[in-house]
Amino acid sequence: MGEIRWQVTQAAPLLAPNAVHIWRVSLDQPSLLVEHLHPLLSIDEQARAARFYFAKDRQHFILARGTLRILLSQYLGIEASAIPFCYNAYGKPALALPAPHNTLHFNLSHSHEIALSAFSYERELGIDVEYMRPLSVSECEMLAEHSFSESERASLRTLPTEAKRQAFFACWTRKEAYIKAKGRGLSIELDQFDVSLTPGEPAALLDSREDPQAVAHWSLRDLPPAKEYAGAIMVEGHDWSASYWQWSPIGLSTKS
């Protein structure tokens, strides 16, 4: 896909049927904004935030979850702090609300200085973002031995040295997006399905031994949010269109 154009806005636009809205949030924000968002979190989210050892990790969690709640509140017309979540047996969150509100599906991922969230009606989805930290070729291949399928490992080995790090993170985020979309976490063994990884080739779910219908049921797209980041989104069905938004915090940090 070509370069993504992120439209800057504070408010969530109308989410039409067969549309997927993808939001990028910078986690490099002033502490005053973190303080503003913290009360929006539920009691259990605040407790999770408090368990982070490093302040930066705690702040990033608050920013990611707080902005997710603000966006959900705009789509739903419900106060951000009043939105109840429920979790399936594998930890995937959903809205604990009656119809029609519970038809809004969402997913969140954050890494380093960026968070990505996605929203759609009546379509399960999964999103993943990873900061492409420096890895040697041997580190990429070693990690791939534990997390990639035989086909993916073979594809990685054929690539030139300079392409292997990018291919590794492309594969990693695509696999994460798939298991997040299905909502079953690591109960799905990572070597039981194949995704594309060669730079320049479209993102695609190529095969799934754990679910023979998966290729027909799900669609995968590349989602690079910034330089030195990899990202991917998996969405139920194929007849959907995406729009891309950059969340703006202007004004929020000064609210009481």
Could you read off the pLDDT of 66-100 as tens digits, one per residue?
Answer: 999 999 999 999 999 999 999 999 999 999 999 99
Q: In degrees rounded to 5, what are phi and psi of residue 122? A: 60, 25
d(CA 241, CA 243): 7
d(CA 106, CA 124): 8
| Helix, strand, coil content of the chain in percent (nearest 5) | 40, 25, 35
Q: What pLDDT shows up at residue 10?
A: 84
Q: What pLDDT shows up at residue 1?
A: 56
According to DSSP, the residues that pair with 95 across neighbouring strands are 85
**Share of residues in the chain with pLDDT > 70 (%):** 97
Q: What pLDDT shows up at residue 256?
A: 34
Q: CA–CA distance from 88 to each of 43, 56, 93, 183, 242 (Å)?
A: 19, 28, 7, 8, 26
Q: What pLDDT shows up at residue 251?
A: 63
What the chain holds in terms of domains, given with CATH numbers, is 7-123+240-254 (3.90.470.20), 132-236 (3.90.470.20)
Could you read off the pLDDT of 223-247 as tens digits, one per residue?
Answer: 999 999 999 999 999 999 999 999 9
pLDDT higher than threshold 60 for residue 253? no
Q: What pLDDT shows up at residue 3?
A: 80
Task: Report which residue type is found at 56.
Answer: K
Token digits of residue 72: 């959900």
Task: Report which residue type is found at 12.
Answer: A
231 in helix, strand or coil? Answer: strand
CA torsion sign, 56 to 62 to 63 to 68? positive
> Could you check whether the bond before residue 100 is cis, i.e. omega within 30 degrees of 0?
yes
pTM attached to this predicted model: 0.94
pLDDT higher than threshold 50 for residue 254? no
Q: What pLDDT shows up at residue 66?
A: 98
Spatial neighbors of 11 by CB under 8 A, at least 6 apart, are: 74
